[in-house]
Amino acid sequence: MFTSPREQRMMLEWKKRKIDFSARTYIMGILNVTPDSFSDGGKFLDREKALDHALRMQEEGADIIDIGGESTRPGAIPVSADEELRRVIPVLKELVKKVKVIVSIDTTKATVAEQALTEGAEIVNDVSALRFDPDMAPLVAKREVPVVLMHMRGIPQSMQTNVCYHDVISEIKFFLNERISFARKSGIEQKKIIIDPGIGFGKSLEKDNYAILNKLEELMTLGKPILVGPSRKAFLRHLLNVAGEELQEATAAAVAVAVMKGANIVRVHDVKHMKHVVQVVDSIKKAN
């Protein structure tokens, strides 16, 4: 039996902010300052272009700007913390002065997260779910900021080599439940944890990502806000055989299902059109 996520009062609280996800779905706009991200690599390496894009996303309705300096696409080459800082921090320092929305830092490295938080970032989006850097969990706990815990097998370089699941949603739930427990034991508060099933991260193109969207409401039993990032992902390209920037309609379909099934935050490239999708689905859900 389907249970509306709006029946659960999902809250995120830190410092001077409080988000009540029972009111609506939030939009996280993607800002990649990388040369090799799967969809927009190289487009926003220039500081002014990155800032202009972030301001445009704010105008189009983004609630959060998620900035990252290391690609996590399948097979991506890792970069050093110094290189990641070189890409991210100059943009982030200017960004927090110009936008009113929340800025999050997309990184698995504590040194990058620490400097980003010092410069004004307010959320850590860690695709490793606090596994890659032993200093990340203590940092998040100390700085008292929210963290996104994402499901991924292995590392980005090898995650697509093992995509066999007996029951993908059950295995994701088990993993996320363990990471929530780890975060809590590390001193991170309950109302500062967001979960992400990791669409496109170690999942089969033919089945798993669709199964996650189809059964997303099962993750609601973990009692945490759910972030979903289907935007321009390879499973959509694989199905339709079109380029990433031609996947607006496909992304819209995935976003609509995600919101209907319980997503509280959707992470997207195309904020303007996905904002419209989210507003319509939220209105449908409220009418139920």
**Catalytic residue chosen out of the listed positions 179, 237, 267, 275:** 267
- Look at residues 25, 29, 18 and name the one whose alpha carbon lies nearest to residue 4: 25
3-class DSSP state of 112: helix
Q: What's the mean pLDDT in 255-276?
A: 98
Regarding beta strands 11-14 and 17-20, do their DSSP bridges make them parallel or antiparallel, or are they unpaired? antiparallel
Long-range contacts of 129-136 (CB under 8 A, 24+ apart): 129/175, 129/176, 129/179, 130/179, 130/182, 130/183, 130/186, 131/179, 132/108, 133/108, 133/109, 135/110, 135/111, 136/108, 136/109, 136/110
Helix or strand (DSSP H, E) at 130 = none
Give the CATH architecture of domain 9-286: Alpha-Beta Barrel (3.20)
- C-alpha distances in angstroms, 100 versus 95, 276, 284? 9, 21, 28
Confidence of residue 9 (pLDDT cuts 50, 70, 90): confident
Question: 267 catalytic, yes or no?
Answer: yes
Catalytic residue among 87, 215, 224, 233: 233
- Token pair for 107: 């990184």
Whole-angstrom Cα distance, residue 78 to residue 132?
12
pTM of the model: 0.93
Give 214-243 pLDDT, tens digit per residue: 999 999 999 999 999 999 999 999 999 998
Asked whether the predicted pLDDT for residue 41 surpasses 50, the reply is no
**Distance between CA atoms of residues 5 and 1, nearest Å:** 13
CB count in 10 Å sphere of residue 5: 24
Q: How confident is the model at residue 45 (pLDDT cuts 50, 70, 90)?
A: low
Measure the CA–CA gap between 45 and 179, rounded to whole angstroms.
33
Model confidence at 37: pLDDT above 60: no
Q: Give the range among 6-10, 122-126, 257-261, 284-288 with minimum mean pLDDT.
A: 6-10
Longest dimension (CA), the chain: 50
Mean pLDDT of 27-36: 89
Residues 176 and 178: their CA atoms lie apart, in Å, by 5
At residue 278, does pLDDT exceed 70? Answer: yes
Q: Which residues pair with 20 in a beta bridge?
A: 11
Percentage of the chain lying above the pLDDT 90 cut: 82
Check residue 6 and report its DSSP letter: G
**Mean predicted confidence (pLDDT) in 207-213:** 97
Q: What average pLDDT does the chain have?
A: 91
pLDDT tens digits along 144-187: 999 999 999 877 766 676 778 999 999 999 999 999 999 999 99
18 catalytic? Reply is: no
